[in-house]
Amino acid sequence: MAGLAPLVSFVADRTVESWTGSGQTNLIDIPPEMARLTFDVILDTMLSGGEDFDRAAMQSRIKSFFADIGKMRISYFLAPDAYHASRPDAHSAHRQPLLDDIRRMVSRRRNSDRRSDLVDLLLQARDPETGQGMDDDLLANNLLGFILAGHETTALALTWALYLVAMHPPTTARIRDEVTEVAGTNAIDATHVDRLVFTRQVLSETLRLYPPAFQLTRVSRKRTELAGFPVQAGSRVIIPVYALHRHRGHWANPDAFDPDRFAPSAPQLDRFTYLPFGAGPRICLGAAFAMMEAVTVLASLVRAIDFTVVSPHRVRPVAGLALRPAGGLPMSVRSLR
Ligand code: HEM
C-alpha cells in the first residue's frame, strides 16, 4: 500500500500548484477541492489513469448520484423497514450511466496489455470454489463500489483535518516539524508514511470528531436483545458513530481536539468505542489505503500551505449521506514555498 504514496504525493503537489501557482494568497472552497484530489488519486492508483473516462463528467455524475441517495436517506426515519429491502441507490437515474462508462472501460481492458492495477487484479480473480471469473457487469459494479466508497469519504476526512489544523496553530507547527524531519523538502514516499506518526494521530482524531460515516445501519436477521432492548427480526438498527465518538462515558473531554489520544504511548482504546471504518465482516475494505492517502496528502499540504478559515464563516457539521461542513468550508491558502 505504502508503495502508492509517491503517486498520491504527486496529486497533492499538483493541487498545491493549482492553488498557489502564481504565489499569491487565494480563496478556495475546501470540500470540492478535496473531492477532486481524492477522485484523481483513486483513478490514478486503482484504474491506472482512467484515461477512458471524462473525469469532470464522471465526477459531476457521482455528485448527482450521491445527492439522490442523500435525499432517500430521510426515508430511513420515516418509511417502514420493508421499503429498504430494495437498495436505496436503485432509484437514482445516475447510477446506470456510471456503470455503462465503467463497463465500456472493462471490456476494452479485457483485450489490452496487463498493467497490474485493480482492474487487472479483478479481471484475473477467480471464485475459489467454482473457478469462475467475474463478468463485465459484476466487475463494473465492484469498481463503481470502490470509486464511490473511496473518494468522498477520504475527501471529507481531509476537509475536516484541514479545518482542525487551521484552528490549532500548535498542531500545524507539529505537523510541519514532523514532515520536515522525516522527508525534508522531498515528495512523500513509501519510507516516510509510517514515520509520520503525529500526522496520522491528527487524522485519527479528526475521524473521531468528524467521522464521515457518522452512522452505520444494520438489519437484524433474528429476534434478539441489545442492551436490554428487544429487537425484532428485520428491524433496522442504527449505530450512532458520531455520538459514540463523543460519549462522555468513553472519552475524557470528548469535544476537545487532542491528537495525543492516539499517541503510541496512550492507553489502548476499547475496539467498539471508535468506529470510523466500521467493524466486523463489512469493515471498510479501503481503511489502510485511506490512511496512507490521507497521511500523504495532509503532510504534503500542511508543509506547503498556510490555511486560514475565512471569518466570519461559521463551520457546522451537517449529516447528509456523509458528515460535511454546512455551506462548504471557504479557506484562504497562502504558499509557504
Ligand atoms: C477516510 C476514508 C474512509 C472512511 C471514513 C470509510 C468508512 C467506511 C465505513 C464506515 C464502512 C463500513 C460501512 C458499514 O459497515 O455499513 C466502509 C465500507 C467500505 N469502504 Fe470505506 N471508508 C473510507 C475510505 C475508503 C476507501 C479509500 C476505499 C477504497 C479504496 C473504501 C472502500 C470501502 C468498501 C469497498 C466498503 C464496503 C465493504 C463491504 O461492505 O464489504 N473506503 N467504509
Residues 218-235: pLDDT tens digits? 889 999 999 899 999 988
Q: Domain limits at 169?
A: 2-212+249-268+286-335
Residue 223 lies in a domain: no
Taking the alpha carbons of 3, 302, 199, 32 in that order, is the dihedral positive or negative?
negative
149 lines ligand 1 (CB under 6 A): yes
157 lines ligand 1 (CB under 6 A): yes
Name which of 138, 149, 53, 143 is nearest 101 in CA terms.
Answer: 53
Residue 307 lies in a domain: yes
Residue 201 lies in a domain: yes
Residue 91, pLDDT > 90, answer no
Distance 267 CA to ligand 1 centre (A): 26
Kindly report, residue by residue over 143-196, the tens digit of the pLDDT.
888 888 888 899 999 999 999 999 999 999 999 999 999 999 999 998 999 999
User: Among 40, 151, 153, which is best to mutate for testing ligand 1, by the most ligand atoms less than 8 A from CB?
Assistant: 153
Residue 87, pLDDT > 60, answer no
Cell of 111: 483485450
Q: Which of 49-63, 266-280, 300-314 has the lowest mean pLDDT?
A: 49-63
What pLDDT is recorded for position 90? 57
What pLDDT is recorded for position 69? 75
What pLDDT is recorded for position 316? 92
Residue 64, pLDDT > 60, answer yes
Q: What percent of the chain has pLDDT over 90?
A: 58
Q: What is the pLDDT averaged over residues 290-294? A: 95
Q: What is the pLDDT averaged over residues 229-252? A: 94
Residue 235 lies in a domain: no
Distance 186 CA to ligand 1 centre (A): 30
Q: Count Cβ atoms below 10 Å from residue 225 Cβ, excluding itself.
A: 8
Our count of domains for the chain comes to: 1
pTM of the model: 0.91
Kindly report, residue by residue over 27-63, the tens digit of the pLDDT.
999 999 999 999 889 888 777 656 777 878 888 888 8
What pLDDT is recorded for position 308? 94
Give dist(CA 84, CA 219) in Å, integer.
Answer: 10
Distance 146 CA to ligand 1 centre (A): 8
Distance 313 CA to ligand 1 centre (A): 30
Residue 274 lies in a domain: no
Residue 239 lies in a domain: no
Residue 210, pLDDT > 90, answer yes
What pLDDT is recorded for position 115? 76
Helix ranges (H only) for 221-277 are: 241-245
Q: Which of 19-28, 171-180, 263-272, 328-337 has the lowest mean pLDDT?
A: 19-28
State which amino acid sits at residue 79: A
What pLDDT is recorded for position 233? 92
Residue 23, pLDDT > 60, answer yes
What pLDDT is recorded for position 49? 59
Name which of 30, 277, 38, 73 is nearest 166 in CA terms.
Answer: 30
Residue 21 lies in a domain: yes
187 lines ligand 1 (CB under 6 A): no
Index of the ligand 1 atom closest to the CA of residue 291: 1
What pLDDT is recorded for position 314? 81
Residue 25, pLDDT > 70, answer yes
Distance 257 CA to ligand 1 centre (A): 24
What pLDDT is recorded for position 33? 95
Name which of 49, 56, 47 is nearest 10 in CA terms.
Answer: 49
CATH code of residue 301: 1.10.630.10
Residue 54 lies in a domain: yes
Q: Count Cβ atoms below 10 Å from residue 252 Cβ, excluding itself.
A: 8
Give dist(CA 188, CA 201) in Å, integer.
Answer: 17
Residue 88, pLDDT > 60, answer no
What pLDDT is recorded for position 134? 93
146 lines ligand 1 (CB under 6 A): yes
Distance 149 CA to ligand 1 centre (A): 5
Index of the ligand 1 atom closest to the CA of residue 217: 16
